[in-house]
Every structure is written in structure tokens, then in C-alpha cells.
Chain A
Amino acid sequence: QSWDMPTPYGDSTFHTQNIAQFAADVSAATDGGMTITVHSAGSLFPHSEIKNAVRSRQVQIGEFFLSRLSNEDLAYGMDSQPFLATSYDEAERLWAAQKPVVSALLEEQGLMPLFSVPWPAQGLYTNGEIATVDDLSGLRFRAYNAALEEFATLAGAAPVQVEASNIPQAFSTGQVAAMITSPSTGVNSKAWDFVTHYTPINAWVPKNIVVVNKREFDRLSDDVQSAILNAAEVAEQRGWDMSKAEASQQTAALAENGIVVYEPSAELVSGLQAIGATMLENWNASASDDAKAILSTYSN
């Protein structure tokens, strides 16, 4: 048996490294009877096509950024809802609430989630320190989805769309002046080339998810199935640990490279949480029943 597995991120990303280990574990557990070839960095399918490629059995398994699907159902995007879950503990509880609903939604497409691993919590990158939400007002703020656009508007900032590859240039030319992203992305894109300040506001803890095609999975022998499920469970645990280690390492790396890393002031945190609360109210108005069910499970 051999499977092809497209993933969107490069080989030095901890997600990809975790998946490479997962593939190795599966191969070892089946004595080489099941091999998974990892095609990283979008080398087989672009990120936008990976889910559908697994759905129509072009490949058997794949990874993608879960909240990419939030336009299809808000339940997918819960982990990118600003200031809903801001620590690993909260993110774990949110995933526990989210998993059954997401699994049911994916099952309608013939997909089955294997495991999901978070990125480090999202921090705020700016030139100069941000002490209160008011300091964000009037700043040109990078937004790439509807939630972020709403966030920027509520904070009084000007949302600007910038493609990820264009971020350094957008900063250096003044097209944007602030962005929210993980410390990993900040280090990988060498954020010190274009911003001076970083604060871990832990805006949200987004996740990648690994899914298999259900029919392909069902065709496997019981032994291989359980080998995959076991490896997935281990990979999820390992991934969360890697993510936690990554968060502190990469934040330190930002500081080492000359970025001023500062703790957000109490005022900033409360201001941001107020925005988060407003967004959640608006969210409630348009969310599906599934998504609301996640929220009520999570909140209780």
C-alpha cells in the first residue's frame, strides 16, 4: 500500500516535520506495508485544492489550514475567532468541542479527520509599541479573511489585503503597518527586516488538520487502520507539544534578532477582549446551528 499526502507548508515547518514523523511511524508500525509519501510545500496540489483532492480520492490523505473552510461553515473557523480561545488549554477545550461537529461536517464530504495541530498563538507585529487599542486606530492593518477585516474595523484600523508573499514589501513601503500572525511565521519571514515590535496578544490559536478519505481508509485492513489511528493519536499529542515548544522558541528568536518583545498591557488586553466579545455577538447572528453548538459546549 502506498499513499500520497499533499501538505501546504515547507519542510522546516514543525507541522511538516510532525507529519513526516507520522508517516515514518505508520510505515514502521506496518513493517513497511503502508508507506505515505509526503509532498510538502504545495508541491503536489496548491493549498486551495488539497481538501477537494482528498475528497475525490486523487490522494488518500492531506493536510490543510482548518479555518480556510470557514466560508463553508463557521464551525470550521471557530479557532480563528479573535479572543475566543487564547491559550493552549482553551484551544484544547475548543478542539474538544469542535471535533465532533467538524467530523460530522467533513463526513458529509467523505472525509475523516485524523488529527489537528495548532499554530502558536497569534501575536501583534507593529513598528512601535501598542499600549492601548486606541494606538491601533488609523493604522493600516493586514486582513486576509472576513473575521480579520471585521476586527480591524472594530479596532478603528484600516484593513488592507496583502498576499502572504508580499508582506515584507508591503511593510517596507508602508502599505501596511500592523499584522497579526504567529511567532513561527514571523521568524520564517524574518520579520525583523521590516517591523520593530512584537507582543504576544494571543489573539487566537488556529489549527492545521489532517484528513483521510473515508472510503480509502475503510478499504485498508484492520491492522493498518489501527496503525494509522495510533500514529495519528501520537502525532496529535506530539504536534501540540511541538507547537508549545515552538511558541517559546520562536518568540525568543524574535527577541534575539532585535525585535522588541513586550507583554501586552492590561488595558490593551481588555480593549481587545471587548472587540472579541462584540465580534462574537455579530458571529452569533450568522452562525449555523452546528457552530453555535460548539460555542455552547465550549462556554460551559
Chain B
Amino acid sequence: MRRFLDRLYAVSGALAALSIVGICLIVTAQVLFNLVARIMGPGWSYTIPSYADFAGFMLAAATFLALAYTLRHGAHIRVTLVSQTLPKAGQFVAELICFVLGLIITGYAFYYFVLLVWESWHFGDKSPGIIAVPLWIPQTAAAVGLGILVIALIDSIVESLRAKAPILGAGEEV
């Protein structure tokens, strides 16, 4: 189970990274096309259809798919200035409360996000650009990312209860 979960976070993080590479590639390709048009004249103009939309969708995928991976790396910013002054037991409780509050808001967001995706699919919402993309497709990537964050928070709560000690880095120095 442990290995499966760690793989899950790593794979979704890797997919997020690939989305960033995707943004970079699509935008670079367009810049090269612009350069060609500039050198060869407007007859050589080419625009990748809806490339701004696609870059935006990949950004959303990158952000949401990386959520759990970033959390487990302790790279989401938090302020541990106050809780650090507590004794170890207090730190454990504070962190547990954070996990639970995080789970509440994330679970809540996840539930409604799934609803949003369902609505998009049900009503056939499409992006307004040159290429009509059914919005549920990019939204599903975001929903999956939120779902994995929910899993990561549950995982962290279980782990924290077992260890009876703080388990995550603070994203800051000790």
C-alpha cells in the first residue's frame, strides 16, 4: 500500500511536469512559426489553432496533478513559526488538525469539482476558441489531481496517527 501510494504521488507529479513541458513545447513551436513568418514574409504565417487555450488547460493540469506530490514533498507553504514552539506532542496534534482541516476543505472542493465536471459533460460545454474542446476533458485532469490530494491527506492522517509525531517537513527551515 505504502509503495502504491508513493508511486501514485510520483506518477501524478510526473504527469504535471510533462504538462509543463507540453506548455513549453507548444509555445516554442508557435514562436518558431512566428520567426519563420517574420523572415519569409506573411505568406508563411501559421498559428497553432487555440494554442493559448491548450497552454491554459495544460497549466491547470500541471497545477492540480502536482498538488499531492507537492504536499508530500512539504513544498506547499505554511507557517510553522508558532507550532514549532510547542512540545513534540503539541506539534503532533497541531499537524493532525492541519491535516484534518486540509482534508475538509479539499474533500469539499473535490466533491463540488466532480459536480462541475459532470455539469460540463451533461450540458456539453465547449471552449470558445478556434478548436472547440469539450471542457469536461481538461476539467477531469484537474478533478483527478484534487482527488489524489484527498487521498494524500487521508494517507497523511493515518501515517501521523501511527507515528504519533509530526511527519511532514514545514516547507521552511527548522
Q: Which residues of A contact B (CB under 8 A)?
A: 48, 52, 55-56, 68-72, 108-109, 138-140, 143-146, 149, 157-161, 163, 174-175, 177
Contact = CB atoms under 8 A, between A and B. Distances in A.
B130 interface: yes
B41 interface: yes
- In which size bucket is the chain B interface? 20 to 34
Interface stretch (B57-65, B121-129, B142-150): B121-129
Interface in B108-135: 116, 119-120, 123-132
9 contacts: A56-B116, A71-B126, A108-B123, A145-B128, A146-B130, A149-B130, A158-B37, A161-B52, A163-B52
B128 A71 contact: yes
Given A55-B119, A109-B123, A145 B45 contact: no
Contacts of A160: 45, 47
B43 interface: yes
B128 A69 contact: yes
A130 to B, nearest CB: 15
B48 to A, nearest CB: 8
Nearest to B123: A109
A22 B34 CA distance: 46
A71 to B, nearest CB: 4
B99 interface: no
A140 B45 contact: yes
A158 B52 contact: no
B130 A161 contact: yes
B123 A55 contact: yes
B112 to A, nearest CB: 10
A144 B53 CA distance: 11
